[in-house]
Amino acid sequence: MKNFSKKAISGILSLVIAASAAVSLPISGSAKGIAYGDINGDSFVNSSDALAALTYSVGKRDLTSDEFIRADVNADKKVNSSDALEILRYSVGLIQKFKAEGVNNTSVDAKTAVTVFNKAVEYSKKILPSYTFQQTPSESVDDVKVTSNSSLISDDLLKQAAEDAKKQYTTAPKTYTKIVQQKTEESVQKMVGTFDLSRLSDLASVECKKNEKGNYLLTVKFKNEKNPTESSQIVKVLGQMTYDSAKKALADNNSLDGVKAKIDAFNFTYEDCILRCEINPSSYEFVSIDWSVKNVSNSKVTTAVGFVKLTVEMSMTGNNSTSYSKFGY
């Protein structure tokens, strides 16, 4: 709750009390059939939907792409306590309509939208705008096992080594913020890459609508990719590691004083990758960019020191959410 303003908390608490005694209101007539506010899809907007938005905003639950759209009732391309508050206000009759319902949701075809995205990327890399860059990485060890061929290393020591590895490689989500200055190399380095227009079928989906300003609201869902190569759209657009670079990093991290580790097995998969952005199609200027990806890895690594071998089998899940905002061209 520490991320919320006192005013937002006060408003939410007061409306929760009112909502507890209120009858659920049916959804209003939303543009293009989008049931804004009805996050759980039960055809009513009530405190349960507000709670869903609130728990998502603090990282306690996930939202599908459709749920995210219905939850973003103020049309700012984010779901946070402000959306939860508006949903509660609607559920007790304090407002009759959500801001998102007034947005012009004119569809734009995928090829046109991605072409504009690519031009916006190229323009940004030429102009070198300033922007606020935020990244929230986290890692968790799902399973780890340490074994040895030597009887000199007890089972207790091996179990302790496994517990230590789990603690070492598990990191809680932490947001890093960087103000990228205009006309700097960093403006290029942190910018996203372009899509391969000839391979749009490799993507899970591309959706784009115009808002009331005429800007493009683009959402791209990537297909899950196992052991990605340099041709991967996730690698090219989001600058993520290839399978080979991830495998090399794994070997380097497991080397001991120059003793190289042997990779017995390694699989690396990108999952649930999605990119959202707002672009001015006339000027090719970004308003905002947000993307997130999950990587799942399974590895078996053996390190030998003399006749003693240590083998570590580990399953890990990493998450990375990145956003670009407050562009200055």
How many structural domains compose the chain? Answer: 2
Q: What is the pLDDT of residues 16-57, one digit of tens each?
A: 444 444 455 565 544 445 789 999 888 889 999 999 999 998
Same domain, 115 and 52: no
Higher pLDDT, 58 or 284: 284
Same domain, 267 and 166: yes
Give the global pTM: 0.71
Same domain, 167 and 257: yes
Q: Angle 192-198-199 (CA atoms, 0-180°, nearest 5)?
A: 70
DSSP secondary structure letter of residue 271: E
Residues whose CB falls within 8 Å of the CB of residue 69, separated by 6 or more in sequence, listed in order: 34
Choosing from 45, 74, 103, the residue where a domain stops is 103
DSSP secondary structure letter of residue 33: G
- Say if 1 falls within a structural domain: no
Same domain, 86 and 152: no
Whole-angstrom distance, CA of residue 147 vs CA of residue 150: 9
Choosing from 41, 69, 103, the residue where a domain stops is 103
Structure-token pair, residue 178: 């960087």
Whole-angstrom distance, CA of residue 217 vs CA of residue 200: 18
Same domain, 81 and 207: no
Q: What is the pLDDT of residues 265-286, one digit of tens each?
A: 999 999 999 999 999 999 999 9
Residue 58 belongs to a domain with what CATH number?
A: 1.10.1330.10
Weakest-pLDDT range from 2-6, 150-154, 178-182, 269-273: 2-6
Domain that holds residue 160: 110-328
Same domain, 132 and 54: no
Whole-angstrom distance, CA of residue 89 vs CA of residue 8: 12
- DSSP per residue over 110-152, as a string? HHHHHHHHHHHHHHHHHH--EEEEEEEEEEEEEEEEEEES-TT
Average pLDDT over the chain reads 87
